[in-house]
C-alpha cells in the first residue's frame, strides 16, 4: 500500500464536501518533516480558507471532524493556524508490516493502467572510447527502465548508437594513413582507438591554428576595454556606480573565460608542435579536416571500400563498448544505430515538403516552427542530412514499430533546444498523442568546477574511471575487514569480488543520488566512503542486516511465514517499520518526474533508521523470544527494502563487507 496515496484519497473524499474539485489541494498532504508533529501533515486548510472566506482554524476543525481515517490513524490534531497532523496507529503499522513481509514486492502494487515507454539513453559514438560524459545518460536511463518495469509498464530500451557519422570518417582516414598493421592484427580495438585519437588531435590542431589568432585578438580587445573601464573614476550617482561595478565584473569574467580558452588552445598546439612525430604528421596532412569529411561522404554515398571497412570496424568498436555495459550491468532491448535509419531519411524530407511543412532557404530544406527564431534544417544545401533528420526518422520508426505512449530521451541539458524543435516538428506530422520528453541532466565537474578532465585536459575515459573506483573500493573494503574486532573475515578473492561490486556501485550511485538536472563534482573519496549518502554505505547497511542472520544461524525465509504482527514498542522500531512501508511512496515519486535521486534519498533515510534501531535495540539477545522474532523480521524487511531499492537503481548488493 502507498500510505500517502491512501491518505490523499481520504482527504479528497472529505474536501469534496467543501469545494467542487479539491484535486489541486491534495499535494499539500505530505509526510511530516518532524516526527514530533506526527507521520503525515496536511496544509490544506489555509488555501481552502481563502477560497471559502473563513478562518483557517475553523476550516481545519471541520475537515478533521469529517475525515474518515480512524482505521489507520489516531485522532487527527489541528496545530497552529490550521495544520492537520496525522499519526498512524501502531497496531495498523504492525499489521501492514506483517502483510508486506510475505510479499516479494514488499506491498508495492503494479500500476492499474500500464503504459508503453521507449527509453533512448547512453547512445555513444561507437568509434571512440566511452568517457565520463556517458555515465549520466547510461545509469539514469537504466534506472528509469528498471523502475518503470517494476511498476508494470512495458518498457523498450533503445541504445541509439552513433555508428555513421564523422567519427567513422576519422577512423577511415586514420586506418588508411596511420595504422600499425601488426598492432591492428593483435589488438584491433586499441589500434582503432589510437587512430581515432590521433586523427581527432590533428584535425583539432589545424582548426586551432586557423582560429587562435582571432581568439587572441578578441582577448586583447576585451583586456583593453577592461582597462578603460577600470581607469574610469567612480560615478557620483550611486545607481550608475552600481551598474558600472556590475559591468566591470562581467568584463573580468569574460577576460578570465577567454584567457582560459586561449591557454587551452595554446596547450593543444604545443602538444603537437613539441612532439617530433605529431609535428611531422601535422605538416604532412594540412587538409586532414576536409579529408575526413570526404571519407565520411564516401561512406554515406556507398563507396565499396569504405563500406567494407565500416563493416569490419563496427563489430570491433561495439565489442569494446559492450565491455563497459557488462561492467555496469546495463542491458538494452535494441541498439538501432544511426546507420539503421539512413534509408529512411529521404522519405522524412519528402514527407515534410509534400505536406507543405518545409521550404527551401538558401538551398537547404528547413522546417520553420512557431516559437523558434531559427528553423530546423533537415537537409543541407549539398544534399547531406542532419541529426534532426535521423531523429525524425527514429520517431517515425518507433511509433510504427512499438506504438508507445511515451518516448523518453535521457540526454544532457545542452541538447534542450534541439529536442524542443524535434518534438515540435514531430507534432507537425501527426505525432501529437505520444508523450515526447527530454529527460535532461547536468554535467560531471572536476574540482575546478569545470567539466571533468584529466590533468592533460583530455576527456576522462570511463574504463579508467571504473578501474580507479574499484581500486579505491578495495582499499576501503580491506581496511574495514582488517578493523574487525576478532579477525578479518574475507579472503583475497572475496575482497576482490566485493571491491568490484562496491566500486562500480559507487560510480553509479554517486551519479543517481544527484538531482539529475544539477551539475555535480566528481569525488572518488566521497563515492567510496563508508558513511554518508553513498552506495558503499547502503551496501554496508544491507550487509549488516544479513550478518545478523548469519551470526544467529537463522533462515530469514522461515521467519517470513510467521503469522503475527510485529512489535513496534521502541521508537526506533516504529520509525524503521514506517520507513520500510514508505518505499512505495519513494518509487511513485521517483517516477513522477523521472528522478532516481528520490529513491536514493529514501535508501539513505532507511539506512539511517536501521542504524539507529540497531544501536538501540538488541536483536539476537532481545528480552523475549517473541521480541527477538519481531526484531529479526524487522531487520529482514529493512534489508529487503534496501536491496530492492538498490536493484531498481541497477546496483548489486553483497552479503558481507
User: DSSP assignment, residue 320?
Assistant: H
- Please compute, for residue 551, the number of CA atoms within 13 A of its CA located in the half-sphere on the CB side: 12
pLDDT (tens digit, 9 = 90+) per residue, 279-323? 999 999 999 999 999 999 999 889 999 999 999 999 988 998 999
Q: What is the pLDDT of residue 378?
A: 97
CA distance 413 to 548: 45
Decide: 168 and 128 in contact? Cβ < 8 Å. Answer: no
Segments making up each domain of the chain, as ranges: 3-88, 116-162+311-445, 167-303, 463-648
Buried (b) or exposed (e) across 313-328, using 16+ Cβ within 10 A? bbebbeebbeebbebb
CA distance 501 to 531: 17
CA distance 640 to 642: 5
Inter-residue long-range contacts of 175-181, CB under 8 Å, 24+ positions, other chains counted: 175/309, 175/313, 176/295, 177/285, 178/281
Mean pLDDT on 478-490? 86
CA distance 83 to 72: 19
Q: What is the pLDDT of residue 627?
A: 95
DSSP secondary structure of 548-567 = HHHHHT--HHHHHT--SPPP
Please tell me if the domain spanning 3-88 has the same topology as the one spanning 116-162+311-445.
no
pLDDT tier for residue 456 given thresholds of 50, 70 and 90: low
Q: What is the pLDDT of residue 247?
A: 85
E strand or H helix at 408: strand 406-410
Separation in Å, CA 288 to CA 200, 201, 205, 281, 295: 9, 10, 10, 10, 10
Helix, strand, or coil (residue 376): strand
CA distance 4 to 350: 51
Separation in Å, CA 178 to CA 192, 198, 491: 10, 9, 47
Residue ranges of alpha helices (H) inside 561-624 are 571-581, 583-592, 597-616
Decide: 372 and 421 in contact? Cβ < 8 Å. Answer: yes
User: What does pTM read for this prediction?
Assistant: 0.91
Mean pLDDT on 235-252? 83
pLDDT (tens digit, 9 = 90+) per residue, 326-377? 999 999 999 999 999 999 999 999 999 999 999 999 999 999 999 999 999 9
- Fold for the domain defined by 116-162+311-445: Rossmann fold (3.40.50)
Q: What is the pLDDT of residue 436?
A: 98
CA distance 176 to 415: 34
Decide: 119 and 144 in contact? Cβ < 8 Å. Answer: yes
Separation in Å, CA 335 to CA 162, 347, 653: 10, 22, 28
Residue 459 backbone phi and psi in degrees, to 5: -65, 140
Sign of CA dihedral 297, 301, 307, 313: positive
User: DSSP assignment, residue 361?
Assistant: E
Lowest mean pLDDT among 216-230, 453-467, 520-534, 565-579: 453-467
Pairing of strands 406-410, 444-445: unpaired
Chain centroid to Cα 616, Å, comes to: 36
Residue 408, strand partner residues? 119, 437
| Best CA proximity match to 167, nearest among 127, 198, 199 | 127
Residue 127 has pLDDT above 90, yes or no: no
pLDDT (tens digit, 9 = 90+) per residue, 570-586? 999 999 999 999 999 99
Percent with pLDDT over 90 in the chain:
83
Q: What is the pLDDT of residue 176?
A: 97
- Fold for the domain defined by 463-648: Isoleucyl-tRNA Synthetase; Domain 1 (1.10.730)
Query: CA geometry: angle at 621 spanning 619 and 622, to 5°?
Result: 65
Helix, strand, or coil (residue 410): strand
Q: What is the pLDDT of residue 190?
A: 84
Residue ranges of alpha helices (H) inside 335-461 are 345-354, 387-402, 416-428
CA distance 76 to 70: 9
Lowest mean pLDDT among 390-399, 442-451, 629-638: 442-451
Residue 601 has pLDDT above 70, yes or no: yes
Residue 561 has pLDDT above 90, yes or no: no
Q: 3-88 belongs to which CATH class? A: alpha beta
Residue 518 has pLDDT above 90, yes or no: yes
Amino acid at each position: 500500500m502507498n500510505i500517502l496515496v491512501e491518505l490523499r484519497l481520504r482527504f479528497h473524499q472529505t474536501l469534496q464536501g467543501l469545494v467542487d474539485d479539491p484535486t489541486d489541494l491534495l499535494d499539500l498532504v505530505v509526510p511530516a518533516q518532524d516526527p514530533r508533529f506526527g507521520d503525515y501533515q496536511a496544509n490544506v486548510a489555509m488555501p481552502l480558507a481563502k477560497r471559502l472566506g473563513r478562518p483557517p482554524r475553523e476550516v481545519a476543525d471541520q475537515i478533521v471532524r469529517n475525515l474518515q481515517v480512524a482505521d489507520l490513524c489516531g485522532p487527527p490534531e489541528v496545530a497552529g493556524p490550521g495544520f492537520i497532523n496525522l499519526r498512524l496507529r501502531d497496531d495498523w503499522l504492525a499489521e501492514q508490516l506483517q502483510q508486506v513481509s510475505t510479499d516479494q514486492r514488499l506491498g508495492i502494487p503494479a500500476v492499474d493502467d500500464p503504459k508503453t515507454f521507449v527509453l533512448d539513453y547512453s547512445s555513444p559514438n561507437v568509434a571512440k572510447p566511452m568517457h565520463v560524459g556517458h555515465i549520466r545518460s547510461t545509469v539514469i536511463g537504466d534506472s528509469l527502465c528498471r523502475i518503470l518495469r517494476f511498476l508494470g509498464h512495458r518498457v523498450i530500451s533503445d541504445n541509439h548508437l552513433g555508428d555513421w557519422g564523422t567519427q567513422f570518417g576519422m577512423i577511415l582516414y586514420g586506418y588508411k594513413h596511420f595504422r600499425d598493421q601488426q598492432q591492428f592484427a593483435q589488438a584491433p580495438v586499441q589500434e582503432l582507438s589510437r587512430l581515432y585519437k590521433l586523427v581527432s588531435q590533428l584535425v583539432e590542431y589545424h582548426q586551432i591554428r586557423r582560429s587562435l589568432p582571432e581568439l587572441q585578438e578578441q582577448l586583447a580587445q576585451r583586456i583593453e576595454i577592461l582597462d578603460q573601464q577600470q581607469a574610469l573614476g567612480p560615478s557620483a550617482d550611486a545607481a550608475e556606480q552600481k551598474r558600472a561595478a556590475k559591468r566591470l565584473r562581467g568584463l573580468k569574467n569574460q577576460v578570465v573565460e577567454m584567457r582560459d580558452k586561449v591557454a587551452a588552445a595554446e596547450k593543444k598546439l604545443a602538444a603537437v608542435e613539441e612532439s617530433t612525430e605529431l609535428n611531422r604528421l601535422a605538416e604532412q596532412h594540412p587538409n586532414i579536416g576536409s579529408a575526413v569529411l570526404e571519407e565520411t561522404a564516401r561512406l554515406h554515398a556507398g563507396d565499396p571500400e569504405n563500406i567494407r571497412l565500416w563493416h569490419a570496424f563496427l563489430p570491433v568498436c561495439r565489442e569494446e563498448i559492450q565491455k563497459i555495459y557488462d561492467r555496469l550491468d546495463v542491458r538494452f532491448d535494441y541498439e538501432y544505430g544511426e546507420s539503421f535509419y539512413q534509408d529512411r531519411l529521404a522519405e522524412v524530407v519528402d514527407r515534410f515538403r509534400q505536406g507543405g511543412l518545409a521550404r527551401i532557404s538558401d538551398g537547404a530544406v528547413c522546417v520553420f516552427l512557431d516559437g523558434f527564431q531559427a528553423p530546423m534544417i533537415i537537409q543541407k544545401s549539398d544534399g547531406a542530412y542532419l541529426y534532426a533528420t535521423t531523429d525524425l526518422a527514429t520517431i517515425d520508426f518507433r511509433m510504427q514499430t512499438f506504438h508507445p505512449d511515451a518516448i523518453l530521451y535521457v540526454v544532457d541539458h545542452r541538447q534542450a533546444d534541439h529536442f524542443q524543435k524535434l518534438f515540435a516538428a514531430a507534432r507537425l506530422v501527426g505525432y501529437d498523442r505520444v508523450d515526447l520528453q527530454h529527460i535532461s541532466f547536468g554535467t560531471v565537474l572536476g574540482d575546478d568546477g569545470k567539466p571533468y578532465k584529466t590533468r592533460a585536459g583530455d576527456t576522462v575515459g570511463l574504463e579508467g574511471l571504473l578501474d580507479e573506483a574499484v581500486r579505491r573500493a578495495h582499499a576501503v573494503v580491506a581496511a574495514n575487514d582488517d578493523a574487525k574486532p576478532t579477525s578479518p573475515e574475507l579472503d583475497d578473492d572475496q575482497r576482490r569480488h566485493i571491491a568490484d561490486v562496491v566500486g562500480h556501485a559507487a560510480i553509479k550511485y554517486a551519479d543517481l543520488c544527484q538531482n539529475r538536472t544539477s551539475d555535480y563534482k566528481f569525488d572518488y573519496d566521497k563515492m567510496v566512503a563508508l558513511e554518508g549518502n553513498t552506495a558503499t554505505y547502503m551496501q554496508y547497511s544491507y550487509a549488516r542486516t544479513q550478518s545478523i542472520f548469519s551470526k544467529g544461524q537463522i533462515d530469514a525465509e522461515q521467519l517470513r511465514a510467521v503469522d503475527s504482527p510485529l512489535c513496534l514498542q521502541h521508537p526506533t522500531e516504529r520509525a524503521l517499520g514506517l520507513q520500510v512501508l514508505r518505499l512505495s511512496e519513494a518509487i511513485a515519486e521517483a517516477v513522477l518526474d523521472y528522478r532516481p535521486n528520490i529513491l536514493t534519498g529514501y535508501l539513505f533515510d532507511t539506512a539511517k533508521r536501521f542504524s539507529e534501531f540497531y544501536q538501540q535495540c538488541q536483536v539476537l539477545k532481545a528480552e523475549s523470544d517473541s521480541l527477538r522474532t519481531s526484531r529479526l523480521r524487522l531487520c529482514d524487511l529493512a534489508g529487503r527494502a534496501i536491496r530492492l531499492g538498490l536493484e531498481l537503481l541497477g546496483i548489486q548488493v553483497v552479503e558481507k563487507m
